Chains A and B, each alone.
Chain A
Amino acid sequence: MKQTVKKSTWAVLLCVLALLAAVVVLENVLDPNKNIMVFAALKKGAVYALVAVSMNLLNGFTGLFSLGQAGFMLLGAYTYAILTIPAAQRDTVYYIYNGSAVNFSLPELFGGGTAGLVLGVLAALILGGCVAAAVAWLIGLPVLRLKSDYLAIATLGFGEIIRAVFQWDKLGPVTNGANALKSFPTFSSFNIQNAAGETVLRLSTFTAFLLAGICIAVIVLLINSTYGRAFKAIRDDEVAAEAMGINLSKHKRLAFVISSFFAGVGGGMFAMFANQAQAKTFTTAMTYEILLIVVIGGIGSVSGSCIAAFLYVAASEWWLRFLDAETFVGGVKVPLLRNGFRMVVFSVVIMIVVLFFRRGLMGDKELPDLFKKRRKGGAAK
C-alpha cells in the first residue's frame, strides 16, 4: 500500500518535471512572435489554473461557496505591482498624481540584476498573497458564519467593495486611481538575454508554469494532509465534523485564508501576464469565469481544474477566435459569425455542462486515479 503511494507520487512528480521541460523546449523552438496566441494561452492558462485550484479548495473541498476570488486577485495584483514598479518609472506611471507614495521597488532593494529580480518578484508575489490572506481573515470573521448562498453574495459584494476602494481618487498616489499600473517586471522579464540584449533563452512561459506549479503542489499537499481531510469532512457533513472535534469556524477560516492567499498570488501572476494591473479588470465576470472553470473541471478535482483552465483559456483566446470573425466561404458569408458569437457559444457549452454533465470533466477524481483504476481492472482480468 505504502509502496504504491510512494510510486505514484514519484510518477506525478516526474510528469510535472517533464511538462516543465517540454514548456522550455517548446518556447525556445517555436518563435513566440509568430505564435503569440499559443504562449499567451499557455501563460494565462497557468495563472487561471492556479486561481481555479485555489477556488476549488474552498468551493470543492471545503464546501464554502465563495465568489470573492476576483477581489482577492485584485489585492494580489496591486500589491505586486506597487512593490515592483522600478523607482525610475514611478513618475511616468503615476503622472496624474505627481508621483507615487511608495518610492521603492523590491527588485531594486534586493540589489537589482537577476538575483534582485527573482527575489523581488517572489517576495512581491508572496506579499500579495499575504495581503489577500490578511483581508480574507478580516472578512472571514463576520462572513463565514453565513450559510452557503448568503456567503456567496456577501463575498461577491466584498469584491465590488474592494474594486471601488482601489479606484478611489484619494488613494491615487498608492493605487493610481482608476488608471492602470504598469512597467513592473512581467513573465518576459525572465527571458535570459546576452550582453547584446538578444534573448538567448526564453523562460517566460516556464516561469508562469513553475510558479503556478509550485503553488498548486502546495495546495495538493494541503488537501492530502490531515487539515485537508478535515475540510472534506466539513464539506460532507458539518454537524458530524463538529461532533468529531473539528472546530468549524477555525477550519473554515483557514480554508478561506489559504484560498485567498493563493488567489492573491494568482492575481500577482495575472498582472505579470497582462503587463498591467487595473481594478476594472477584476470584475464579478472574472470570478464567474473562474467558477465555470472549476465546474467544467469537476468540483473537487485539482487536476480537473488545471485541465479545464487550459481548455477554457485556449478555447476562448485561441481556438474559438474564428467565431468572432466575419467569414466568407466561397463568397458567401457564414451566418451568425460576428463579434460576440464566441462568448455565446461558450455560455451555451457551459450550460450544457452544468445541466447534463454536472460532474464536469473529472468529477471529484484526479488524473492518477484514472490510471489506478485501469491497473486494478487489469489485475482483475
Chain B
Amino acid sequence: MSENVLKVENVTMQFGGVVAVDNLNLEVNKGEIVALIGPNGAGKTTAFNVITGVYQPTNGAVWFQGEKIVENHPQGKMKQQYKGGHAGEYTQALAPTPDKVTRLGMARTFQNIRLWKSQTVFDNVLIAKHCRAASNVFSATFRLNRKEEARQRENVLELLETVGLADVKDELATSLPYGKQRRLEIARALAAEPKLLLLDEPAAGMNPQETEELTAFIGEIRDRFQLTVFLIEHHMNLVMNISDRIYVLDFGKLIAQGDPAAIQNDKRVIEAYLGVSEDA
C-alpha cells in the first residue's frame, strides 16, 4: 500500500446557497503527480483553497501525512441551508491558517501570479525561507543568526541555480518575462521546503514550447526534491504527459478519476468539456 500524503474526505464548500465543492473525496499518494481538471468554475481553486486553509470547508475533513489538519461541520445559519451530504459525521472545527498549513509541509502557487512586486528574484525566494528560520526577532535583528542566514542564502542560491534563475537573481521579480515569473513562483514555493507542492494552473498563459519545458521541469523537481505534486491545469498536453492520476471536477462534483488514458476515454468527462449534444 502506498502512503497517502493528502486525503480530502467528504469536503463540501457552500457559499450561502451556492455549493462550490460538493462532497469531494480524493487522495494523493507519496511521490505521485496528480492533476485536478475540470471546466471553468468547476470548483478546482476552491478545493485548493480549502486544502491550504484559505477557506474553511462547510463540512468534511482534510488529512495531511496521516494527520487531520482541517475539519468542519455546518454551523449557525448554515445548519438550515446546508445542501451537501455527510452532515453530522463531523463534529470538530479545525481551521489552521494558511501559514500554518505551509509550515506543516504544503506550499502552493497562484493562478494569477502573486510575487512580491518590490522584491528581487533572490529576495522573493529568500522570504519564503523565513517560515523555516529558527531565529527570533531579537537574534535576527542583532545578527546572532549569522550561520542560519548564510545557510539560507546558500540554499536559495542553489535553488535558483536548479530552476535556472540564478542569472537574474538581482532583478526585480516583476521585470521577468511571464514564463520565468511562473517558474519563480514555483521556486518560491520550493523554498518553503514542502512535502506536497500544489500548483494552481502553472501553465496558464504559456505557449506550447514553454508548456513543454514546464512539464519537464515539474517532473525534474519532483524527483530532485522527492515531492508529491497536486496540480490544477487546463493544458491537456501537460496533464496527460505528466500525471500519474487525474481527478475530474464538474459543477463541484467529482465526475471521474483514473489514469490519463482512462480519463481521455471517459464519456462523462468528454460531455463535461464539450457539452451534451441535444439529439444524443
Distance to closest chain A CB from B185 (angstroms): 9
Question: Which of A226, A236, A243, A364 sits near B102, CB closer than 8 Å?
Answer: A243
Tell me if B116 and A233 are in contact (CB < 8 A): yes
B24-32, B70-78, B83-91, B129-137 - the one binding chain A: B129-137
- The stretch of A45-53, A143-151, A244-252 that contacts the partner chain: A244-252
Contact between chains at A222 and B141 (CB < 8 Å): yes
* Best-buried of B110, B131, B142, B143 by chain A (most CB within 10 Å): B131
Q: Which A residues lie within 8 Å of B129 (CB)?
A: 226
Which residues of chain A are within 8 angstroms of B110 by Cβ–Cβ distance? Answer: 239-240, 243
Taking A226-B133, A244-B102, A244-B107 as contacts, is the C-beta distance between A237 and B116 under 8 angstroms?
Answer: yes
Pairwise interchain contact B119-A236, C-beta atoms closer than 8 A: yes
B182 contacts across to A, CB distance below 8 A: none
Measured between alpha carbons, how far is A179 from B127 in the docked complex, in Å? Answer: 49
B128→A247 contact, CB < 8 A: no
User: Separation in Å of the B63 CB from the closest CB of chain A?
Assistant: 20
Per-residue interface assignment for chain B, residues 95 to 120, with 1 indicating a CB less than 8 Å from any chain A CB and 0 otherwise: 00111101100011010001111110
B114 adjacent to A229 (CB under 8 Å) = no
Contact B118 A221 (CB under 8 A): no
Collect the chain B residues with CB atoms within 8 Å of residue A233's CB.
116, 119, 127, 130
- CB-CB nearest in chain A for B124: A233
Is there an interface contact between A237 and B117, defined as CB atoms closer than 8 Å? yes
Q: Complex formed: what's the CA distance from A254 to B140 in Å?
A: 13
A242 touches B98 (CB 8 A): yes
The answer, yes or no, to whether B188 is at the interface (CB within 8 Å) is yes
A225 touches B141 (CB 8 A): yes
The listed residue (B102, B126, B132) touching A229 by CB distance below 8 A is B126
Central interface residue in A226, A230, A236, A247, by most chain B CB within 10 Å: A226
Do A239 and B114 form a contact, CB below 8 Å, given A230-B130, A247-B100, A254-B137? yes
Instruction: Please pick, from A227, A240, A245, the residue contacting B137 in the complex, using a CB distance under 8 A.
Output: A227
Contact of B114 among A221, A237, A248 (CB under 8 A): A237
Interface residues in B, total, Cβ within 8 A: 38
- A247–B123 Cα gap in the complex (Å)? 18
Bound state CA distance, A258 and B117, in angstroms?
25
**How far is the CB of B139 from the nearest CB of chain A, in Å?**
9
Q: Does A218 contact B (CB under 8 A)?
A: yes
Q: How far is the CA of A235 from the CA of B116 in the complex (A)?
A: 9
Q: How far is the CB of A199 from chain B (nearest CB, A)?
A: 36
Known contacts A221-B142, A226-B145; decide if A245 and B102 are in contact (CB<8 Å). Answer: yes
Closest chain A residue, CB of each to CB of B150: A2
Residue of B nearest to A223 (CB): B141
* Known A221-B142, A236-B116, A236-B117: A242·B99 in contact at CB below 8 Å: yes
A226–B100 CB distance below 8 A: no
Are B117's CB and A246's CB within 8 A?
Answer: no
Q: Are B128 and A245 in contact (CB under 8 A)?
A: yes
Within the complex, the shortest CB–CB distance from A64 to chain B, in Å, comes to 16
Contact across chains for A248 and B97 when beta carbons are under 8 A apart: yes
Kindly state the separation between the CA atoms of A232 and B103 in the bound complex, as whole angstroms.
19
Per the CB 8 Å criterion, the residue count for chain A at the interface is 27
A9 CB to nearest B CB, Å: 11
B228 interface contact, C-beta 8 A? no
Contact A229 B141 (CB under 8 A): no
Q: Which of B197-254 contact A (CB under 8 A)?
A: none
Q: B9 interface residue, CB < 8 Å from A?
A: no
B14 CB within 8 Å of chain A: no
A247, closest chain B residue (CB): B99
B118 touches A236 (CB 8 A): yes
A229 near B127 with CB under 8 A, answer yes
**Within the complex, what minimum Cβ distance (angstroms) separates B262 from chain A?**
33
B149→A226 contact, CB < 8 A? yes
Q: Is the CB of B99 within 8 A of A246?
A: yes
B23 within 8 A of A: no
Contact flags A206-229 to B (C-beta < 8 A → 1, else 0) = 000000000000100110011101
Instruction: For the complex, give the distance between the alpha carbons of A236 and B123 in Å.
Output: 12
The residue that A226 contacts in the complex, of B99, B118, B130, B142, with Cβ under 8 A, is B130
CA distance A246 to B135 in the complex (A): 14
What are the interface flags for B183-199 relative to A under an 8 Å C-beta threshold, 1 for contact and 0 otherwise?
A: 00000110010000000
Contacting residue for A240 out of B115, B118, B149, CB 8 A? B115
Q: In the assembled complex, how far is the CB of residue B164 from the closest CB belonging to chain A, in whole angstroms?
A: 20
Chain B contacts for A221, CB-based, 8 A: 141-143
Which one of A232, A239, A241, A258 has the greatest number of beta carbons of chain B within 10 Å? A241
Q: Chain A 234-278, CB within 8 Å of chain B: the 1/0 string?
A: 011101111111111000001000100000000000000000000
How far apart sit A32 and B117, CA to CA, in the bound complex (Å)? 48
Q: Nearest-CB distance from A157 to chain B (Å)?
A: 27
Pull 16 A–B residue pairs with CB atoms less than 8 Å apart, ordered by A: A226-B149, A227-B130, A229-B119, A233-B116, A233-B127, A237-B116, A239-B114, A242-B98, A243-B107, A243-B108, A244-B128, A244-B131, A245-B107, A245-B128, A245-B192, A246-B99
Besides A226-B129, A226-B140, A227-B141, 20 more A-B contacts (Cβ < 8 Å) are A218-B141, A221-B141, A222-B141, A226-B126, A227-B130, A229-B123, A232-B119, A233-B119, A233-B127, A236-B119, A237-B114, A237-B115, A237-B117, A239-B110, A243-B52, A243-B99, A243-B114, A244-B102, A244-B127, A245-B132
Interfacial residues, chain B to chain A (CB-CB below 8 A): 52, 54, 97-100, 102-103, 107-108, 110, 114-119, 123, 126-133, 135, 137, 140-143, 145, 149, 152, 188-189, 192
